Chain A
């Protein structure tokens, strides 16, 4: 059962071949048996899951089933879950049990899905390797057979690793600069970052508000579509949520791709990319040509400034977003604070990890008197130039394709000495968040036995088209079905 997709499991449940309780138990057993190798879960909620599964079975018996009723999945530990510890990968929230649900959490509850637990992540979603988790690094299921502990990518590394290792068929995730697509690529699974505003951010612990977007990780594009059907939609509790009709994302998966215009941004096929990686991506593009698509080169001239702009905007927003973690109302509080200043500075010094503190300090600096114009305002202007690049590109083509990452999964500890080396990991994904357009990562081959991701970028609100393009590719390739040994 653990190799089956969400769509398949849904059919199995519908046919009565298996109950949700049985299915849930199987996955829980598998997590218990296997996750010691990966550390992809921070919290496993076995009892709650089985209880939810029983309710789901009753719902199905009563004929009130959605495609998700009784299907197991997991939440990235950034989504608040009423009554279930939500840590955001941080010591700061080690014992934080929210008395409320994120909108995404509530949506899955409403759909009858069975949450098995909360997946590991870089602390406060800051990282590209999942080595910044207070709950320990996550190990990529790929590469273990070669004897190496490789990173799963980040920050949604736990979700990607868990899906890759078949511990759950699907997991929610979030993406601020590549945090869905990069781990999906490195773990050989399919991930989608929707258009900014498509999925509610309410109850999703904020890193950088104008960039954060909830999304999906599963093995197939079809399962991503099933997830997005649950997650997408207007939410009155999120002022940046967009009130716009949500299509059935599964309805257009089988549209033919004939005539699809693909653009290859030349800046994303530069010397940052190894020839072996480039070959895999070009092979994937060739598959699309076989499916009837046309390909042309396009340019995103300001894309090279994306990392620089991002590392002003994201830390600046984060520096304010993380001020609420002050040891007063919830979360970590230092022992015996001697005065208020001590309470603040020690709770935050002890509760936050190194990378989080680094980014808070960078953001504080960028916003401080005398630097605001040179950093923050300048970055916002560059952000508009980058957005304009995408708008221009989508006047010519329907989708853009590129590698998701410059290289496959690297070995743990390899890039931890210099934060900037780690930041460059997101060189192909970050501009998409600045522009706010949707993008996917789709498994597209292997280099040295490690998965390679193809990034497909679309215009605003073109998730259905992206899923369609990914699904058609997955009808003629089987990269997404490869299982790590």
Chain B
């Protein structure tokens, strides 16, 4: 049987405010446990919440960026459940009147098509603390530093039909919130977390199947794997004539396994009701206009500009413009390097590969865009070969030296481009390889000839101690060997 896959996402986006949503405690990441958990965050008796204006500003900016209506009078509700990382015994969140109403995001598909994913709403809420399960004599330790960190939870319509689309949407959203500067986008620290709702239905059917929710995916890769895994799991069940249980599942990315956390029957009765400690929040036109005026360039606009300003193709521009830090890095490299296409290649090639290999974000990169730009300059003006450029890149990355030219000098990577000197070397090498010269000259097939040419390059590079300009060597060889 053929199946349609239906995917909706819920994305928790931690807002980059200085303080918590309802208290003046710092939200800085990485502090000692519970040193940023104060009376309000710990739900000490008698303490009361006072909302952070910046969280509302950020939520409004997000709403504007995804073409959504802003709710002028939003209300906080209490979602009641007990958990050690939830100090009040309820989460303060928004249900009936969330700050951001329906909107949409357009995503680019690898096929070149554009797809619209509708946003159902986005609401403000507080994050929970963290439970640490390493062994405290069989106990769990609770750190409440994160408790009360502002989140927006973005809920999409079930508009995506495969993992590729879901990941493209997730990346697009990541690009939007980081471009807005409302989230640091650092997924390894939990700044963005994805819940994926998946259901299957017979191809072409109008009726949605029973869905499952896979929670707390914190990388694009895990998200892609988890979707593939869940689709396969559901398909196996359905094709064996079984039924899908509506449930919440937990995916283990390291083992590519998932298991049920709770079924619908076990689901909590959250007893939502309006929080009596908080009043309705009214957002007026001037607040919205101020937020609108503070909107920075967003990925779509940036992509168009990259195509226009740097002559990049659609694919390269989309990739570089999608992530605000990567975009800034590229622009620094392109401006300094004066060759945008080459800069783009290096940013997407060597640079991105290296970040991935070391699981680093652009922000954690040891080299700057300008440094990469310097390298691009030296590649473009033939000072160094591409092999030499890789060596310079290595030296920059490892922090040996921060000047491209100094590295070139120190490592003697400057190419020899003096044709006289190069011709002398070619003469010498050819004189030492008479058999190969004859072979070459007797060969008629141009393809084989070209290949045989390579046989001379090794000794030539050796003779030049690796500094001969390979392009020039090639020209001279062809000329000397006679066409």
Residues of A within 8 A of B (CB): 79-80, 86, 88, 93, 96, 98-100, 102, 201-206, 208-210, 236-240, 316-317, 319-320, 322-326, 328-330, 340, 344, 364, 367-369, 372, 376
Contact = CB atoms under 8 A, between A and B. Distances in A.
A326 B89 contact: yes
Interface string B16-60: 000000000000000000000001001111111111000000000
Contacts of B78: 320
B273 A372 contact: yes
Contacts of B273: 316, 320, 367, 372, 376
A369 B45 contact: no
Contacts of B46: 79-80, 98, 102, 201-206
A86 B272 CA distance: 30
B142 interface: yes
B51 A369 contact: no
B462 to A, nearest CB: 70
Contact of B48 (A79, A210, A238, A364): A238
Given A237-B48, A239-B51, A376-B273, A324 B279 contact: no
From B44, B51, B271, B277, name the one whose CB has the most chain A CB atoms within 10 angstroms. B271
A323 B80 contact: yes
Contacts of B142: 328
Interface in B62-87: 78, 80, 82, 84, 87
Contacts of B269: 368-369
B87 A202 contact: no
A300 B78 CA distance: 32
A323 B86 CA distance: 10
B45 A240 contact: no
A209 B271 contact: no
A98 B44 contact: yes
- Nearest 8 interchain pairs by C-beta: A323-B89, A209-B276, A367-B271, A210-B276, A324-B43, A203-B46, A205-B45, A205-B46
Contacts of A204: 46
Contacts of A322: 89
B90 interface: yes
Contact of A320 (B51, B80, B87, B278): B80
Interface string B410-424: 000000000000000
A98 B88 CA distance: 17
Contacts of B44: 80, 98, 100, 329-330
B277 A239 contact: yes
A72 B278 CA distance: 35
A208 B276 contact: yes
A100 B50 CA distance: 17
Contact of A326 (B48, B49, B51, B82): B82
Contact of A367 (B49, B80, B276): B80
A203 B47 CA distance: 5
Interface of B: 39, 42-51, 78, 80, 82, 84, 87-90, 142, 269, 271-273, 276-279
Contacts of A324: 43, 45, 87-89
Contacts of B49: 239
A202 to B, nearest CB: 5
Contact of A202 (B42, B48, B89): B48
Contacts of A238: 48, 50
A323 B90 contact: yes
A86 B44 CA distance: 12
A239 B48 contact: yes
B89 A240 contact: no
A140 B32 CA distance: 51
Given A98-B45, A369-B269, 20 more contacts: A88-B45, A98-B46, A102-B46, A202-B47, A204-B46, A210-B276, A240-B278, A319-B80, A320-B80, A320-B273, A323-B88, A324-B87, A328-B142, A329-B43, A329-B44, A330-B45, A367-B271, A367-B272, A372-B271, A376-B273
23 contacts: A80-B46, A86-B45, A88-B45, A205-B46, A206-B277, A237-B50, A238-B48, A240-B48, A240-B277, A316-B273, A320-B78, A320-B88, A320-B89, A322-B89, A323-B80, A323-B88, A323-B90, A324-B87, A325-B45, A330-B42, A368-B269, A369-B271, A372-B271
A236 B277 CA distance: 13
Nearest to B80: A320
Given A367-B271, A376-B273, A239 B50 contact: yes
Contacts of A86: 45
A389 to B, nearest CB: 21
Contacts of B51: 239
A326 B44 CA distance: 11
A344 B88 CA distance: 13
Chain A interface mostly: loop
B105 to A, nearest CB: 33
A329 B87 contact: yes
Contacts of A330: 42, 44-45
A395 to B, nearest CB: 26
Contacts of B271: 319-320, 364, 367-369, 372
B330 to A, nearest CB: 45
Contacts of A340: 84
A285 B271 CA distance: 46
Given A320-B90, A324-B89, A328-B142, A240 B279 contact: yes
A317 B88 contact: no
A104 B47 CA distance: 13
A75 to B, nearest CB: 12
A206 B80 CA distance: 16
A200 to B, nearest CB: 9
B45 A317 contact: no
A100 B41 CA distance: 14
Nearest to A369: B269
Contact of B278 (A203, A236, A239): A239
A236 B48 CA distance: 10
A334 to B, nearest CB: 15
A364 B273 CA distance: 11
A45 B478 CA distance: 102
Contacts of A99: 39
Given A323-B88, A367-B271, A201 B82 contact: no
Contacts of B42: 329-330
Nearest to B50: A239
A93 B429 CA distance: 93
A367 B272 CA distance: 7
A323 B276 CA distance: 15
Contacts of B278: 239-240
B45 A96 contact: yes
Nearest to A235: B48
A163 B48 CA distance: 30
B276 to A, nearest CB: 4
A362 to B, nearest CB: 13
A240 B280 CA distance: 11
A203 B48 CA distance: 8
A102 B88 CA distance: 18
A88 to B, nearest CB: 7
Contacts of B47: 100, 202-203
A403 to B, nearest CB: 29
A383 B238 CA distance: 51
A211 to B, nearest CB: 8
Nearest to A90: B45
Given A202-B48, A328-B142, A330-B44, A100 B82 contact: no
A201 to B, nearest CB: 6
Nearest to B43: A324
Nearest to A210: B276
Contacts of A98: 44-46
A109 to B, nearest CB: 16
B268 to A, nearest CB: 10
Contacts of B43: 324, 329
Contacts of A369: 269, 271
Nearest to A204: B46
Contacts of A344: 82
B97 to A, nearest CB: 15
B39 A100 contact: yes
